[in-house]
Every structure is written in C-alpha cells, then in structure tokens.
Amino acid sequence: MYQFNVYRIGPEIKIGEIDLSFTNASLFMVISSLAVLIIFNLGSKKSSLIPNRIQLLAELSYTFVSKMISDTAGSKAKPYFSFIFSLFMFVLFCNMFGMIPYAFTVTSHIIVTFVLAAFIFIGVTVIGFIKHGFGYLKLFVPSGVPVVLLPLIVVIEVISYLSRPVSLSVRLFANMMAGHTMMKVFGGFVISLGVVGGWLPLGFSVALTGLEILVAFLQAYVFAILTCIYLNDALNLHH
Amino acid sequence: MFLKFSQITFFYFLLLSQVNGAESGGMPQLNPEFWFSQIFWLIITFGFMFVVLSKLVLPKISENLETRKAQISENIESAEKQRLESENKIKEYDKLILESKNEAKNYFNQAREKILKDVDKKRENLEKEINEEISKAEKEIEDLKNKSPDKVRKIAIETSSDLIKQVIGVDVNNSSISAIVEDISRKRN
C-alpha cells in the first residue's frame, strides 16, 4: 500500500492549523493539469485545414466530449461544456499518469474524488434550483406512480439523489485503488514465486496493465458521463 | 515436487501478507493528515486548468473546427456550383452539336437541291440548245432539200446548154431548155 502514501515534498506550508504542504499528490495534480494544458494548447495553436497529429488529438477529444454532452444532456448543457471537458481530461490524465510505474495516482484517493463529486453535486443542485425554482423538487416525484407508493418512492428518490456524490466518488476511487492494489498483489506474486513460478502472475500483471489502462479511460468517461446525466436532470426536468 | 512447490507458495503468501500488513498500517486514503492539502491543491490545479482551458484553449479549438467546417462546406458548395455549371455547359454543348448537325444537314440538303436544280437547268438548257441545233439542222436540211431541185435544174440547164453548144454549135435559148428539164424532172418525180 506504499504506492498510495502521501508525503510532503519540500517545506511544510501551514496556514493556521491547516497543513497545505506540497505533496506527491499535488505534484501529480500539477503534472496532469499541465500536461492537459500543454497538449491542448499545442493542439489549438495552428489552424490548418488538414490537422497535424496533436491538433487532430485535441479536436477529436473536443468533438468526443461535446458529442457526449449533447447526447446525454442536450443542447442546453453547452455552457457547461468547458467544465465537463476539464473534468474529463483531468480525471483521465490523473488516471493515466497513475499507470506509470512509481507514479502517484491522484484519483485513488477518496478525498480528491469526493471533492470533485461534491462540487458537481452542489453545482448541479444549484443549477436545478436556479432553472426550475422549487419545481426542481418534482425530480423526487416520478410521474405515473400510484399515490400509495408515493411516500416510499419519494424517500428512495431523495436517498438516491443524496447518495450521488458518494457513489460517483467511490466508484472512481475504488476502481483506481482496486486496480492498482491488484497489480501490486500480482507484482508481489512475481517476486515471491521467483523464476520458477513467477511467469504466470507476470503474464497476469501484463494483462492487468492493459485492463487498467482501459479502466483508467473508462472511469474518466463514466465520471464525465454521469456528470452529464446529473446535469441533464437539472436542466431538463423530465419527471 | 508439487507438494514442495505448493508449500513454498503458501509460505511466501504468508510472508507477503505480513510484509503488506507491516508497511501499510491501514489505508493511506483514510489518513486525514493531507486531506486539506489535497483539497487545496486540487482546487488550485483544477481551477487553473479549467480557467485556461475555458478562456484560451477551448474557444480556439472550437474556432478551428468551425472554420474547417465552414471551409469544407464552402468547398462543397463551390464544387456543387461548378458541377451544375459543367452540366449546363454539357447541355449547351449537346445543343450546339445538335444545332450544328441540323445546320449541316440543311446545308447539305440545300446544296443538293441547288446542284440538282443546276443540273436540271443545265440539262434543260442543253436540251434546248440541242433541240435548237436539231431544228436548225433540220431546217437547213429542209432548205437544202427544197433548194436542190432548183439547183439541179439550173445545173442541168447550164450543162445541157453547154452540151448543145458544143455538139451542135448553136446557142439554144435557156428557157426552152429549162422547159424540157422541168418536164423531165417532173416525169421523174
């Protein structure tokens, strides 16, 4: 579990009682965000009719995210495009950088994913109330439900709504942590079984690396698309 | 062999779990020591990235995409326009070809008619001329025919008068000779 340890890099920074030191987690957040900025800045610099590779990458990502948003949340979600794009790219790059050996996986910490999820939850709720006023509470009352069942349904809906940030954050955090732990365990098997029996877990480790890269992308995608779905609930009240 | 292998595996597992247990001391994720630091740096890095992306980078990318789309649609439009134009040109060309074909046919027909007419005219002229010639010749022949008895008579008269003069040595009156000759020729006829 050493790979999940957070330790201070450089001097201790304290504001009052709160420790805001620069840590390895902070380092990888900085690296991820700078990587995103560098890649997309390079990708947007030149505007040629036939894009070069990095421009193509940037434009494909752009259209990918914008299509994802318009498919799930409709055209009303356009103002939130840059936030969801940043979110997707940040989570994706943090996940991907975590796949580099000896790197730190920012998203394998519940506090990070929870802060992101809580921010999304609060933001979506605020947007919902701004758009629909108290009508937004109709979200908890699905149409076409027998009156007898209504109290139960409303309670369930409220609980499911409130558990959104938890499920959103725990999904990402648990996926990343479990994947990395599994790889660590198989890596441990390789060492402990030695030259004789280590080949099988080594093969597993290689396969798991591929799987984890897939999961890293998939979880970033799921995180972003769930944000879109929540946003869709807030923007287009269907119930 | 297999027993020993599994034994080693088992003990290694035991060892591994002990090592893991020793180094972790619980999940580092649940240790709140650096939570605020992580939140703080998350807000800073993500916020910085979000601001730069949304203010500088993404508008540029969208602008690039828009210009490309516009350019492509413009090109498609102009291609469509040129296609229509070329189609029109082809139609025009076909029309022109048809017209010129018709014209050529007309010219040909006209020329043929003209030539036929000419030929007819010439033939007519020729026939006329030939007829004229024929009639002239016929007239001449007729004339000659008509004139020949007189001449013959004259020659006969002259010759006979000459003969008489030579034979008899007397000048005979021409009129009497001519009466005789006429008589003879009448009888002959």
Locus of tokens 């499911």: A160
Using CB atoms and an 8 Å cut-off, which of residues 110-129 of chain B contact chain A? none
Q: What was the pLDDT predicted at A178?
A: 92
- CA distance to A8, B37, B137, per residue, from B32 (Å): 14, 10, 148
Task: Note the maximum CA span of chain A.
Answer: 68
DSSP A14: E
Locus of tokens 């050996």: A101
- Strand partners for A15: A18
**What's the mean pLDDT in B138-143?**
88
Q: What was the pLDDT predicted at B10?
A: 52
Please tell me which of the candidates A25, A43, A83 has its beta carbon nearest to residue B41: A25
Q: What was the pLDDT predicted at B18?
A: 47
Q: What was the pLDDT predicted at B22?
A: 43
Q: What was the pLDDT predicted at B4?
A: 60
Instruction: Look at residue B148 and tell me whether its pLDDT is greater than 90.
Output: no
- Strand partners for A19: A14
Q: pLDDT by residue (tens digit) across A12-48? A: 888 888 888 899 999 999 999 999 999 999 988 877 7
Q: What was the pLDDT predicted at B5?
A: 54
User: Cα–Cα distance between A118 and A95 in angstroms, integer?
Assistant: 19
Q: What ipTM score was computed for the predicted complex, to two decimals? A: 0.90
- CA distance to B152, B157, B162, B171, B175, per residue, from B167 (Å): 21, 15, 8, 11, 19
Instruction: Look at residue B21 and tell me whether its pLDDT is greater than 60.
Output: no
- CA distance to A10, A164, A235, per residue, from B35 (Å): 17, 21, 32
Measured in angstroms, the CA of B82 and the nearest CA of chain A are apart by 21
Q: What was the pLDDT predicted at B189?
A: 61
- Whether the CB of A173 is below 8 Å from some CB of chain B: the reply is yes
- Strand partners for A18: A15
Q: What was the pLDDT predicted at B75?
A: 93
Q: What was the pLDDT predicted at B162?
A: 82
A223 within 8 A of A88, measured Cβ to Cβ: yes
- Name the residue of chain B whose CA is nearest to A119's CA: B43
Q: What was the pLDDT predicted at B146?
A: 83
Instruction: Look at residue A125 and tell me whether its pLDDT is greater than 70.
Output: yes
- CA distance to A194, B6, B8, B9, B159, per residue, from B3 (Å): 17, 5, 9, 10, 177
Confidence of residue A156 (pLDDT cuts 50, 70, 90): very high
Are A116 and B42 in contact (CB < 8 Å)? yes
Of residues A94 and B16, more confidence is placed in: A94
Q: Is the pTM of this model over 0.90?
A: no
User: Cα–Cα distance between A187 and B19 in angstroms, integer?
Assistant: 14
User: Cα–Cα distance between A149 and A147 in angstroms, integer?
Assistant: 5
Are B67 and A112 in contact (CB < 8 Å)? no
Q: How many helices (H) and strands (E) does chain A have?
A: 7, 2
Structure token digits, residue B142: 């007729």
- Taken in order A40, A44, A45, A50, is the CA torsion positive or negative? positive
Q: pLDDT by residue (tens digit) across A69-116? A: 999 988 888 899 999 999 999 999 999 999 998 899 999 999 999 999
**Residue closest to A161 by CA, chosen among A143, A182, A140:** A140
User: Cα–Cα distance between A182 and A189 in angstroms, integer?
Assistant: 11
Are A41 and B56 in contact (CB < 8 Å)? yes
Neighbours of A39 (CB within 10 A): 17
- CA distance to A64, A128, A131, A132, per residue, from A236 (Å): 22, 9, 9, 9
User: Cα–Cα distance between B179 and B185 in angstroms, integer?
Assistant: 10
Q: What was the pLDDT predicted at A112?
A: 93
- Taken in order B152, B155, B158, B159, is the CA torsion positive or negative? negative
User: Cα–Cα distance between B12 and B76 in angstroms, integer?
Assistant: 69
Measured in angstroms, the CA of B101 and the nearest CA of chain A are apart by 48
Instruction: Look at residue A134 and tell me whether its pLDDT is greater than 50.
Output: yes
User: Cα–Cα distance between A185 and A197 in angstroms, integer?
Assistant: 15
B163 within 8 A of B179, measured Cβ to Cβ: no
Q: pLDDT by residue (tens digit) across B54-107? A: 999 999 999 888 988 999 999 999 999 999 999 999 999 999 999 999 999 999
Q: What was the pLDDT predicted at A161?
A: 93
Question: Which run of H or E residues covers position A15?
Answer: strand A14-15
Q: What was the pLDDT predicted at B19?
A: 47
Locus of tokens 């025009």: B92
Instruction: Look at residue A153 and tell me whether its pLDDT is greater than 60.
Output: yes
- Name the residue of chain A whose CA is nearest to B55's CA: A82
Instruction: Look at residue B15 and tell me whether its pLDDT is greater than 70.
Output: no
Burial zone of A149 (CB within 10 Å; 0-12 exposed, 13-18 middle, 19+ buried)? exposed
Measured in angstroms, the CA of A144 and the nearest CA of chain B are apart by 41
Q: What is the DSSP string of chain B?
A: -HHHHHHHHHHHHHHHHHHHHHHHSS-GGG-GGGHHHHHHHHHHHHHHHHHHIIIIIHHHHHHHHHHHHHHHHHHHHHHHHHHHHHHHHHHHHHHHHHHHHHHHHHHHHHHHHHHHHHHHHHHHHHHHHHHHHHHHHHHHHHHHHHHHHHHHHHHHHHHHHHHHHHHH-----HHHHHHHHHHHHHHH-
Instruction: Look at residue B24 and tell me whether its pLDDT is greater than 80.
Output: no
Are B23 and A2 in contact (CB < 8 Å)? yes
Mean pLDDT of chain B: 83
